[in-house]
Amino acid sequence: MEEQLQELITQQGDRKSRMNEASKKWKLNNKDKNKQKNREYQEAFRKRNKVIVEDPAHVAYPEVVINKEIYIEPEQIEIEPINYDPVEVIKKYKSITTLYDGLIYGLYMLLEPRGLDYHSIKITDEENFDILNDENYLCRLDNDCYFIFNKYTGYAKTGKQVIICPKTLYELLEAYLNDCEIDVNDYLFYSKNRRKIAITPSLFASHIKRTFKNIYGIDGITTKILKQNYMEYNKN
């Protein structure tokens, strides 16, 4: 009995030894495999990292570019010079389909273009310009219209500006005022249906962009661009 027990213990010991040996071999083999996998992963990671830095549009792993500033130059708007020649202006005007767009176009093409000062123009029939000092006005007299500017950039240096409307613009204004039923003390460009409240500068700016986009097929035409084009036209 004792011999059989001793033989069993010996067999179990041999079995345990064999299992330990096998376990060591398995760990060793897997250690090599894990090292190889780690090397492959690191190599792939470096390649992806390189791609992301060279091509910001390819973002396979966004975390790779954390703390890395990648600047993409914004697309520049290239706008061909707008021709201020009166003949060309009239040609373009004939393509306009609404009085509103026609008036905006006329204000910035038939007069020297200015900023967004027209957004706050109030209608008046006062003939004494000396007492019109607090706002921007359109003076609507018998056969003439005058713009009076008291609120604009540069007022502190040049003071009140009085500008007479050319005949074509006068006709545009009369048609627009009559069609919209705009009366004295109303605003030329008003907020929705409330004629006593002026349109906001930002909304007026968007209307200018939309109007010139409809006419020229170019997005992004601002009052600044119009003023630059007008100066270039006068130089030439």
Percent of the chain with pLDDT over 70: 66
What domains sit in the chain, N to C, each tagged with a CATH number? 2-65 (no CATH), 86-235 (1.10.443)
Contact criterion met (CB below 8 Å) for 146 and 165: yes
pLDDT, tens digit (0-9, with 9 covering 90-100), for 17-26: 666 665 666 5
Q: Label residue 235 by pLDDT band (50, 70, 90).
A: confident
pLDDT, tens digit (0-9, with 9 covering 90-100), for 45-81: 455 444 433 443 433 333 333 333 443 444 445 556 7
Across the chain, mean pLDDT equals: 78
Contact criterion met (CB below 8 Å) for 204 and 118: yes
Distance between CA 173 and CA 161 in Å, rounded? 19
